[in-house]
Structure formats: C-alpha cells, structure tokens
Amino acid sequence: MRLLIQRVQSASVSINKNIVGQISNGLLLFIAFEELDDELDLHWAVKKVLGLRIFSDHQQKMNLSIKDITGEILVVSQFTLFASTKKGNRPSFIRSAKPDDALKLYKRFNKIIQEQSNLKIQTGEFGADMKVSLLNDGPVTIAIDTRNKE
C-alpha cells in the first residue's frame, strides 16, 4: 500500500462538478493498493497516519498529530501511485491491485480509520474520474509505503 499524505488547510474532491468530499484543516490522503496488501498493512497504515506528528504546536514545531488537533481527513483512491516508469514513457500499473480487491481494501481502510479516530472522514469515489482541489499547508507532503515498515 502506498500513501501520499498532504497536510492541508482545505481540500475537496468533485465528480462532474459536484463536490463529493470536502475538509478544512487536516490531511489529504492519496492511497493505492497492491496485491500483497492485507489487514495488517491497513492497520499499520492507519496507526501511522493517525500518529504522524506533522502539525505545529504553540512553539511552531511539528509536534502534533491529526488526532491532537481534531483535524479532518479526505481519502482519495489513486492507483497511479504504483506507476512504474522503468521502461519507455508510458507508465505501467502492474503492481496495482485488481479493482475489485482494491475497492475492498479501500472500504476497509476507511472503516478502520473512522473507528480508530472519531474524526471527520470524507472520501472520493473509488474508480471515478475525480478533480481534487487542495491548499497544501507548509507545504508538507509525506510518502509512505507499507513494504518499507522498518
């Protein structure tokens, strides 16, 4: 599983000009799954996202988590995070999970993060052509791959 995490002041996702998910201060998560991903990966990733201390404390040091600030989270599926550009100029997505499997993992991830955080969680629509708008705060952008846990 790969996550691209952006600290945002605001973010929204729309489909056909209709906003389907919108947050203010919090995290925008772009997420992709591969065939090897399982329940352990989901729980590890949720724990990591909720524990990342990337929000400023009163001394302006990145020392607070999304839970500490009672922020909001927008989760958007993005299989292109597994793009391989080793050969030629057209990316290959051979490592991406099959859509049916990825959809199950996406739904499960969203359920786990909701259960473990009690924060406002918004999502895009899996597999849809979405437009994402965001105001990155910092900017702060962090990439996580569950294959690199150690």
Place of tokens 């922020």: 71
- pLDDT for the residue numbered 149: 82
Rounded to an integer, what is the distance from CA 63 to the centroid of its chain?
20
- pLDDT for the residue numbered 79: 93
Number of domains in the chain: 1
CATH number of the domain bearing residue 60:
3.50.80.10
- pLDDT for the residue numbered 84: 87
Whole-angstrom Cα distance, residue 112 to residue 102?
15
Q: What are phi and psi of 126, to 5 degrees?
A: -55, 130
Range of the domain at 137: 2-148
Mean pLDDT of all residues in 75-84: 93
pLDDT in tens, 86-127: 888 988 888 899 999 999 999 999 999 999 999 999 999 999
Positive/negative CA dihedral, 143, 70, 73, 140: negative
| Residue numbers annotated as active site | 80
pLDDT in tens, 20-76: 999 999 999 999 999 999 999 999 999 999 999 999 999 999 999 999 999 999 999
Residue 132 clears pLDDT 80, i.e. is over it: yes
The answer to whether residues 8 and 21 touch, using CB atoms and an 8 Å cutoff, is no
- pLDDT for the residue numbered 47: 97
